[in-house]
């Protein structure tokens, strides 16, 4: 029952964070930061992190679809919060947030003993950021194309 409520809260806050509703975004991030320690009752059982990384491991880690889609959504949520006239700064801020959250997730898994702290898990996090950036650029292109095609019809 508590897990269902947790999921509902995260989904509602995540949806509101796309609006852009700053309080919902920051609440989502704060609860996300507390999620790992709360899941283990704030009882830490540190485990060593696997820092091995190679091309085959990196490619294998791309099959971690949970990280991929979650971090793509987080990238898009973060980019919705950045109200800048510059697309580049929007992408950099969102990328920075993805990297920071990815590092936090791996360290939290290592500190709590829940999950596996692995350096290679940052690869699908970054791939999720790239996917999010592609989706954002496509969305902006579609909006721009729709806007310009509507203007041309009136001339």
pLDDT value of position 151: 54
Instruction: Give 45-69 pLDDT, tens digit per residue.
Output: 999 999 999 999 999 999 999 999 9
**Look-up: residue for tokens 């697309």?**
87
Collapsing DSSP to helix, strand or coil, 154 comes out as coil
Task: Name the pTM for this structure.
Answer: 0.85
Work out the pLDDT band at 98, boundaries 50, 70, 90. very high
Distance CA 127, CA 103 (A): 14
Q: Using CB atoms within 10 A of its CB, is residue 120 exposed (0-12), middle (13-18) or buried (19+)?
A: buried
């Amino acid at each position: 029952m508590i897990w269902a409520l947790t999921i509902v809260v995260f989904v509602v806050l995540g949806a509101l964070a796309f609006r852009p509703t700053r309080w919902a975004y920051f609440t989502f991030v704060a609860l996300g930061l507390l999620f790992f320690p709360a899941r283990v009752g704030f009882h830490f059982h540190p485990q060593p992190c696997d820092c091995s990384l190679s091309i085959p491991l990196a490619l294998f880690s791309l099959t971690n679809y949970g990280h991929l889609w979650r971090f793509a959504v987080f990238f898009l949520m973060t980019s919705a919060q950045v109200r800048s006239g510059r697309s580049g700064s929007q992408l950099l801020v969102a990328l920075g947030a993805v990297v920071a959250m990815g590092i936090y997730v791996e360290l939290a898994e290592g500190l709590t003993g829940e999950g596996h702290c692995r350096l290679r898990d940052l690869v699908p996090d970054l791939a999720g950021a790239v996917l999010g950036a592609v989706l954002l650029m496509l969305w902006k292109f579609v909006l721009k194309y729709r806007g310009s095609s509507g203007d041309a019809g009136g001339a």
